[in-house]
A and B are shown apart, each in its own frame.
Chain A
Amino acid sequence: MSATPMSATVRRSRLPLILSLILAFYVLVLYGPVVLLPVFSFNDNIYAVFPLTQFTTKWYQELTGNQAMLFALWASIKIAMASAIIATILGFLVAKAMTRYRVPAKNFFYGIFMLPLILPTIIKGASLLSFFRQYLDVPLSLWTIGAAHVTVTIPFAMLILIARLESFDRSLEEASADLGMNAWETAWRITLPLAMPGIIASLLLCFIVSFDEFMLAFFLSGSQPTLPIYMFGLLRFPESMPMMLALGSCILFFSIIAVTITEMLRLKRSEALL
């Protein structure tokens, strides 16, 4: 940016109208299927069909009374956060190795790390279950689900971070080494900040993958279900559909609010720094 201060400030000023419209269109595409959830969650009909009948909040009341579902939600959040963080750390190390060093048998390792993606999930689920139960004899719990989710999220983290680290300027890292920083300092002060957008993207994607994963969680869950399992169980009963729509709407609502608030706080802080 410092190289081109003029054009940067000009570009910074305003998004052209046409681009704003395109962005709006994308938001519509991304959110299209989920904006219907709040609509039907306030409709007094257990079937999600048009025309709408009558406004009601009873599905939300039903939701607040359903502790089991909220527990399942919490379990999923915990697992998804843990596996996103672990997978991103492991994936980062792999990406660093693959992009910075001459890795022996690179393709072999690459294949191994992609393996969790290629194996059909039902096979993975059944084999991991027997691995945990018959070989290790660990009881099924959220830990077993989390361990499985780390294996399937590692490839996601690895691929994103390789794409980020690949072909970005190695000279910065070399320069820092020349300046006498050791490997850790270089990693902490140069590589990590440069990789940060990739790390954030990796955390977000791994979170989604784990949060929404059903088949592995089915095989590896004990008495504490994750949200997808709980929901799939209830799908058998049409009466519980609106309550699930209400839950989906709440997730939508609270996540948007949370993002807005954190971003506002962040902006305030950075303004204060200026």
Chain B
Amino acid sequence: MRADDLKSLFGGKDLTRRHFHKLLASAGIVAASTRSRLASADQKQLEVFTWANYDQKEQYAPYMAKHQQAPSFSILTENDQARAKIRSGYHPDVVTPTENYVPFFVKDDLLAPIDTAKLSNWNQVLKPLRDQNVAAGPNGERYFVPWVWGTNGVVFRKDAAPEYADNPTWNILWDPKLKGKIALRDAPNATIIPAALIAGAKDPYDLTDDELKTVGELLRKQRELVRFYWTTEAEVQQALSSGEIDAAYGWNSTYAGLKERNVPVDYLVPKEGMPIWIDGFSLVKGGTADEQLKYDYLDAVLSAETGAFNISKLYYGSSNEKSFSMVSPEILERLGFDKLDQIMKHGLWAKAVPQATLRKMVALHNRIKSGF
């Protein structure tokens, strides 16, 4: 039996489906539902469950060259919620998780393996990205193709803390001088990993209980300085541009957006380590579209042209190496992608945290945020 909590919570074991049908048959509901199943049998459109702005025509142009019907898109707003939604029985064909969430999708048995041999653009993917296979199956199956990525660092106002330009460290977020002028991202990874890096944890993605305790102390100290925990990039950009805060945990795209509007900010690449996030595509188990459509779509989004579009329009890095040579050097410099080799070498690639540790991290994050 599948003991996955949610699924058995709202799914099958305690109340059987037959039970329910019996209950509902009297209301005549079941009859209506069987009809709808028949209607969707012929030529199924590809259904993609992805973030807003990941659904633009330019991003899947090669797909449209082969197929007449565009994919249908449903909007994903958060990894956790997307996972809960798929687990509760929603089956799109393709989904766009963030890399460190993939192992949980796999653990819940929500994804189907991807055969990269069927992807003509796979060989153009940056080698470090190709080499790491997050949540690999027992026979090295791959469940995730990386697509866009960015760095996690600190965006700060040059006028408020100029000294950190030569001293790139996460400690800026613990500087008492900036009391009430600091914003952090409201996510367990975003508060805990930097603290773990400062504390010199052995593996920031698998903290021991002692290390978590140290991290907790650090975060409690930091809490006194924090103005707010941000949830959207717009929020933190706005606060930095109005001068409400002086330093914030942020992405390179956060920095690039502000820079473009002439806000005097700088981007700090912390010497303790700079975590990197990756969004990519996975195939959902139970997606009913034709296999060929799915692979054509994956291949289309991995194209160099799509990557170039993402760099210049979304300010996100591309997984396709060729994309970078298709974008003007000014844009690359503004995004910090001119030193691609260094990022590839020194970047701290996001890893999945073991479930038990993750629970402790989330609990700690919640305690810190609620004042405990």
Contact = CB atoms under 8 A, between A and B. Distances in A.
Interface stretch (A8-16, A135-143, A168-176, A178-186): A135-143
**Among the interface residues B24, B85, B88, which one has the most CB atoms of the partner chain A within 10 A?**
B88
A135 B21 contact: yes
B33 interface: yes
A46 B257 CA distance: 10
Interface stretch (B70-78, B108-116, B165-173): B70-78
A144 B85 CA distance: 14
User: Interface size for chain B: under 10, 10 to 19, 20 to 34, or 35 or more residues?
Assistant: 35 or more
Nearest to B55: A68
A129 B86 CA distance: 9
A134 B20 CA distance: 10
A116 interface: no
A232 interface: yes
Contacts of A139: 36, 40
A49 B238 contact: yes
B270 interface: no
B1 interface: no
Nearest to B30: A136
B187 interface: no
Interface stretch (A56-64, A80-88, A222-230): A222-230
B36 to A, nearest CB: 6
B356 to A, nearest CB: 23
A121 to B, nearest CB: 12
Interface stretch (A22-30, A101-109, A203-211, A233-241): A233-241
Given A133-B90, A241-B234, A230 B75 contact: yes
B17 A221 contact: no
A245 to B, nearest CB: 11
A219 interface: yes
Interface in A28-51: 45-49
Interface residues of A, number: 38
Nearest to A127: B10
Nearest to A237: B53
A136 B51 CA distance: 28
SS class, residues of chain A in contact with chain B:
helix
B239 to A, nearest CB: 9
Interface in A116-140: 122, 126-127, 129-140
B12 A134 contact: yes
A131 B10 contact: yes
Interface in A209-266: 218-219, 221-223, 225, 229-230, 232-241
A47 B238 contact: yes
B52 interface: yes
Contacts of B51: 233, 236
Given A47-B237, A230-B52, A235 B232 contact: yes
A47 B241 contact: yes
Interface in B312-361: 314
B261 A47 contact: yes
Interface string B237-262: 11001100000000000000100010
B363 interface: no
Contact of A130 (B24, B52, B88): B88
Contacts of A135: 17, 20-21, 24
B117 interface: no
A59 B362 CA distance: 39
**Among the interface residues A122, A132, A238, which one has the most CB atoms of the partner chain B within 10 A?**
A238
A207 B350 CA distance: 43
Contacts of A127: 9-10, 88
Contacts of B33: 136-138
A47 B242 contact: yes
Given A138-B33, A233-B51, A235-B232, A49 B242 contact: yes
Nearest to B47: A223
Interface of A: 45-49, 122, 126-127, 129-140, 218-219, 221-223, 225, 229-230, 232-241
29 contacts: A45-B261, A122-B84, A126-B9, A126-B10, A126-B85, A127-B10, A127-B88, A129-B10, A129-B88, A130-B10, A134-B10, A135-B17, A135-B20, A137-B37, A138-B36, A219-B85, A219-B90, A223-B47, A223-B74, A229-B77, A232-B75, A233-B76, A233-B77, A234-B53, A236-B232, A236-B234, A237-B53, A238-B238, A241-B234
Interface of B: 6-7, 9-12, 17, 20-21, 24, 29-30, 32-34, 36-37, 40, 47, 51-53, 72-77, 81, 84-85, 88-91, 232-234, 237-238, 241-242, 257, 261, 314
Given A138-B32, A229-B75, A236-B233, 19 more contacts: A46-B261, A47-B234, A47-B242, A47-B261, A48-B238, A126-B9, A129-B88, A130-B10, A133-B88, A134-B12, A137-B37, A140-B74, A140-B90, A219-B81, A222-B74, A232-B75, A233-B52, A237-B53, A239-B257
- In the A-B complex, list the 8 residue pairs whose CB atoms are closest, starting with the nearest: A233-B52, A133-B89, A130-B10, A223-B72, A238-B234, A129-B88, A233-B75, A49-B242
